[in-house]
């Protein structure tokens, strides 16, 4: 059995800045925004790099299987990436793209990591990615995570905030259908109803680390430690 608590995303070697850097690889690191003004002194040149990628991604929908985006993501580039029908793994380091509706087209996604900023308040399209095994959400503005309950193939779920904010979640009810979950990890996390009892029903957990305010930690830390005494356990508090 795989240990999903330490499952990492792929190590991809090929880095592409311009479309000309691409040579038919199935797995690439995309670094096409925030470009050096020394190498691309004109704004029009920097804009062209991004537009070239948007054009390529939309007209070559079967080009990539794994894509890691390391620079600021915008809405148009995100929507173009969602044209890649064969994507199995996607990571986006950061950006502002408040509408993720197009992600529903990525039916083959198994591994997904998104950092989208507070403007992303509706994550319901993620509920249609039925093949997902690993989902990591960082710095999103959503409070309703119930759509995630449809991701019944999930093995690993991470919910994380940035350094200067907190993810506020209304309820953990989305966990009721995630019966195959092996890793549940949160940081910068506040559960507004303070009811963590649904975590106790995750029978296949291999790793658990749930961030919580001190008042909740005093109640639930000992309960979690006893219930999951046979797995790695890390406690956090705000």
- Is 41 strand, coil or helix? coil
Q: How far apart are CA 34 and CA 89, in angstroms?
A: 23
Structure tokens at 185: 């990890």
pLDDT level of residue 236 (50, 70, 90 thresholds): low
Q: In the chain, what percentage of residues exceed pLDDT 90?
A: 81
What confidence tens digit (pLDDT) does each residue in 19-78 have?
999 999 999 999 999 999 999 999 999 999 999 999 999 999 999 999 999 999 999 999
- Length of the chain measured in residues: 238
Work out the average pLDDT over 132-160. Answer: 94
- Is the model more confident about 108 or about 233? 108
pLDDT level of residue 235 (50, 70, 90 thresholds): low
Confidence (pLDDT) at 139: 82
DSSP 8-state symbol, 211: E
For the chain, domain boundaries = 13-191
Confidence (pLDDT) at 120: 92
Confidence (pLDDT) at 163: 65
Residue pair 205/178 in contact by the 8 Å Cβ criterion: no
Confidence (pLDDT) at 237: 55
Label residue 2 left, alpha or beta by phi (over 0 means left) and psi (-120 to 50 means alpha). beta
Q: Is the pLDDT of residue 172 over 80?
A: yes
Q: Mean pLDDT: which of 75-89, 153-167, 218-232 is highest?
A: 75-89
Structure tokens at 212: 């919580």
Longest dimension (CA), the chain: 60
Distances (CA, A) of 110 to 10, 86, 102: 12, 11, 16
* Closest to 80 measured CA to CA, from 95, 108, 60, 96: 60
pLDDT level of residue 230 (50, 70, 90 thresholds): confident
Q: Is the pLDDT of residue 233 over 80?
A: no
What confidence tens digit (pLDDT) does each residue in 150-164 have?
999 999 999 998 766
* Closest to 62 measured CA to CA, from 29, 84, 82, 30: 84
Phi, psi of 167 (to 5 degrees): -80, 125
Q: Report domain 13-191's class.
A: alpha beta
Residues 6 or more apart from 142 whose CB is under 8 A from it?
Answer: 120, 121, 122, 123
Rg of the chain over Cα atoms, rounded to whole angstroms, equals 19
Residue pair 53/80 in contact by the 8 Å Cβ criterion: yes
For the chain, the helix, strand and coil percentages under 3-state DSSP, each to the nearest 5 = 30, 25, 50
Strand partners for 30 = 16, 69
Q: In the chain, what percentage of residues exceed pLDDT 70?
A: 95
Q: Mean pLDDT: which of 6-20, 123-137, 210-224 is highest?
A: 123-137
Model-level pTM? 0.94
């Amino acid at each position: 059995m795989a240990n999903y608590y330490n499952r990492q995303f792929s190590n991809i070697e090929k880095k592409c800045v311009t479309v000309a850097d691409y040579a038919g690889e199935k797995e690439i690191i995309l670094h096409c925004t925030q470009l050096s003004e020394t190498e691309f002194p004109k704004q029009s040149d920097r804009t062209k790099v991004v537009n070239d990628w948007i054009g390529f991604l939309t007209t070559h929908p079967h080009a990539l299987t794994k894509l890691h985006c390391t620079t600021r993501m915008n809405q148009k580039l995100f929507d173009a990436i969602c044209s890649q029908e064969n994507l199995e793994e996607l990571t986006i380091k950061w950006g502002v793209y408040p509408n993720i509706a197009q992600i529903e087209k990525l039916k083959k996604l198994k591994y997904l990591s998104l950092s989208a900023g507070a403007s992303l308040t509706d994550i319901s399209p993620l509920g249609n990615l039925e093949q997902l095994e690993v989902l990591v959400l960082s710095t999103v503005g959503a409070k309703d995570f119930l759509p995630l309950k449809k991701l019944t193939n999930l093995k690993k779920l991470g919910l994380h905030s940035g350094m200067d904010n907190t993810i506020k979640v209304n309820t953990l009810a989305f966990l009721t259908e995630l019966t195959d979950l092996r890793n549940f990890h949160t940081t910068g996390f506040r559960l507004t109803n303070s009811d963590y009892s649904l975590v106790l029903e995750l029978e296949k957990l291999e790793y658990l680390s749930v961030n919580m305010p001190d008042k909740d930690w005093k109640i639930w830390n000992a309960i979690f430690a006893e219930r999951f005494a046979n797995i790695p356990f890390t406690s956090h508090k705000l």
